[in-house]
Structure 1
């Protein structure tokens, strides 16, 4: 439909000119050439030009313009391509369409698998909650994720690369699975862990959360390396900072929470945005050393946290506002999430502090890939959280350590008792 609307727009415009009709205002700008670089040097000359027939000025969302003008973000403008959906996701969604419900406490009920709420209605006051459940509770990005290892680059905007940290990220869905059985435990939504494995001074830092389907606060576990024991932590630790990084634990893989732990979720509307849907960034060069290992980053150019220019195209997004509770460090979360059913990707997000001031921005991209189990689905190619107040950032790119739906994965290897083994 999006391409049809754009084609109709071009036909009507061409017809009006051909008939000699007078058109109010300036003539439509010509589309920019594919691969045009949008950056701080070119932004003023490009804002009133078009991409796929749409003015570029209206495609920048959230804090994108600020990140371009003040902090060196760069985009390669490219025509849009279709968004592909994970193999089997739409079939499961159709099979279970209409089953899922929200109860009076906004908890997800009567859910087995597939996109819980494929037919979002913006007039529905619960649409924001339903969209977040679509992101979190279905295995559209993998029933099992085993990212071992991923490298976090800890970056000062003034001094450059400070540290390279190795982390293990693991997630195992216990319900909402694409694979059969679709539900392994009706009471548990997922296990999710983020564990530091190097350098030695931070090795063992991390948490594992057990998220439940009844929306209770999670069980949170940490491995205490000095004691060589796993210890249960306060449930409030789910939103604590990840030591040595710019992440909060509820930021992992975009979101790690239950929607009910926030005061509210609202869809503010739909719009078109410039996003990375078909990334061209290179992966980590694991045979290189030093900065050469990270060809996806511009580590020699201040503020040092920016990626190499990636392909940005127009996609339709939901603009979503999440308001955490008063004890959270974030005052407001603004997110731009893809509207394609079965691919609710978090393309861009901005966080505001308790004073309402811009605090952090998260951006990145993905591409289609073949998973370990043979499915085709999205895989992340880049991710960064920038603290614009501290001029500091944590970034990561794609490496061979990314595994989605690896064969033989068992819940026991992702549960609290497995924390020590994540260091092996």
Structure 2
């Protein structure tokens, strides 16, 4: 009963705050800082609003010059009609067909386009949609810069990582790929720098059936692949402020069944986008789609500016616009999980996470994370793509932050061989 009252009070408080938000007219982006923060009251989690009020965060706020709903992969837009009422969840939160009760051979786009606030499994469906939105963008290979930053120290160091992933659901072309292991998706993370960490790697196999993720790690010192336990997913990743589970499009990358989920509200929140127009994607010499974001004007870090007042971990060039969201509460079932309750703000239309607020096991506030998205399109407007370019997590207690920065280049790795994700392929990649 005590937990129920706490949830109700939190929900009512959010509704009150959201109702007080002042709308901002479309047009030129407005600067929001400590002098006029009231204009966005109710449009940010309370922890983030405090940053604006203190001067740690300065926003460019207004309407984008395009509708991001029209820059989604074609098959995602089609699935919003075709998949209505087509799938349901089992007791263990796996996806099955309504008509047969069996695991579908393939799921196109997002599985649950018609979520209702009253649905007792609505939160799980929201989180599944974020997984499938990631999958719908196809195979991916990119380079990631883990930036470490402190309030007093500014930029400290970077860990550079190669990322490879391949979905077997969501992405239209995946329907024709061999999938004898019944994977939903697979991914690999390989550290390339600094020298003392180079070769360290992790690989995840995620299944479409009621089965735990399989995690493997490569340890350069012993030159062997070792099985990792899913319980370690809340541990710090490469010594950063991020846990392994903090990733993905929905700001959570663990098993859906590992948490108790609940929709505790809905409303509007400010979502971050890189660029006020869609990015341009082009075909490279290998026939793969890529977009290059080395333009310094697109990504401007506070730590690189002289005389700025914002905290070093903020990206000044982000465009912030109002987005409709589900407010999702997730509570880990594992008593040894490092985090307690998490609140995630998930875009109702784009199925992307914008904000996450993390509490410790005693219920005290600990961390806040947010994302910056790029919506991309080719010149003919026939190829649509989206990606989280920058993901930042701030540990308020340590006054420290880490960013996952993949802004230099994204490549749709259509030619990634599935054998790369076997144990033998993983070992070869790491050597």
Give TM-score, length-normalised by structure 1.
Answer: 0.80
Structure-2 separation of matches of 1:320 and 1:29 = 24
Structure-2 separation of matches of 1:295 and 1:107 = 38
1:414 matched residue in structure 2: 421
Structure-2 separation of matches of 1:402 and 1:38 = 30
Q: SS of the counterpart of 2:389?
A: strand
Structure-2 separation of matches of 1:141 and 1:66 = 35
What does 1:59-98 correspond to in 2, within 5 Å? 59-70=43-54, 72-79=56-63, 81-84=66-69, 85-98=72-85
Q: SS of the counterpart of 1:237?
A: helix
Structure-2 separation of matches of 1:95 and 1:36 = 39
Count of aligned residue pairs for this structure pair: 377
8 A Cα contact 1:284 1:398, kept in partner: no
What does 1:210-359 correspond to in 2, within 5 Å? 210-253=205-248, 254-262=251-259, 264-277=260-273, 279-280=275-276, 285=294, 295-300=299-304, 301=308, 303-325=311-333, 326-340=335-349, 343-359=350-366
Query: Equivalent of 2:34, from 31, 40, 60?
Result: 40
1:361-386 deviation line (CA, Å, top 9, x unaligned): 11121122148xx7312122322111
8 A Cα contact 1:140 1:178, kept in partner: no
Structure index of larger Rg: 1
Structure-2 separation of matches of 1:278 and 1:306 = 13
Q: SS of the counterpart of 1:369?
A: strand
Distance verdict in 2 for CA 1:194–1:215, change over 3 Å: farther
Structure-2 separation of matches of 1:226 and 1:309 = 41
8 A Cα contact 2:367 2:394, kept in partner: yes
8 A Cα contact 1:175 1:189, kept in partner: yes
> What is the CA-CA distance between 1:422 and the residue it aligns to?
4.1
8 A Cα contact 1:273 1:315, kept in partner: yes
Structure 2 residues not aligned, in runs of 5+: 1-21, 98-103, 280-291
Structure-1 separation of matches of 2:385 and 2:67 = 13
What does 1:380-395 correspond to in 2, within 5 Å? 380-395=388-403
2:125 matched residue in structure 1: 130
Structure-2 separation of matches of 1:423 and 1:364 = 29
Structure-2 separation of matches of 1:364 and 1:137 = 18
Structure 1 stretch 179-188 or stretch 102-111: which is displaced more? Answer: 179-188
Structure-2 separation of matches of 1:394 and 1:150 = 12
Structure-2 separation of matches of 1:212 and 1:271 = 32
2:173 matched residue in structure 1: 179
8 A Cα contact 1:277 1:367, kept in partner: yes
Q: CA RMSD in A?
A: 3.0
8 A Cα contact 1:168 1:422, kept in partner: no
What does 1:74-223 correspond to in 2, within 5 Å? 74-79=58-63, 81-84=66-69, 85-110=72-97, 111=104, 112-113=106-107, 114-139=109-134, 141-147=136-142, 149-181=143-175, 184-185=178-179, 187-223=182-218
Structure-2 separation of matches of 1:29 and 1:92 = 32
8 A Cα contact 2:390 2:407, kept in partner: no
1:12 matched residue in structure 2: none
Structure-2 separation of matches of 1:252 and 1:29 = 31
Give TM-score, length-normalised by structure 2.
Answer: 0.79
8 A Cα contact 2:25 2:62, kept in partner: no
1:53-86 deviation line (CA, Å, top 9, x unaligned): xxx3232234220232347122111125522322
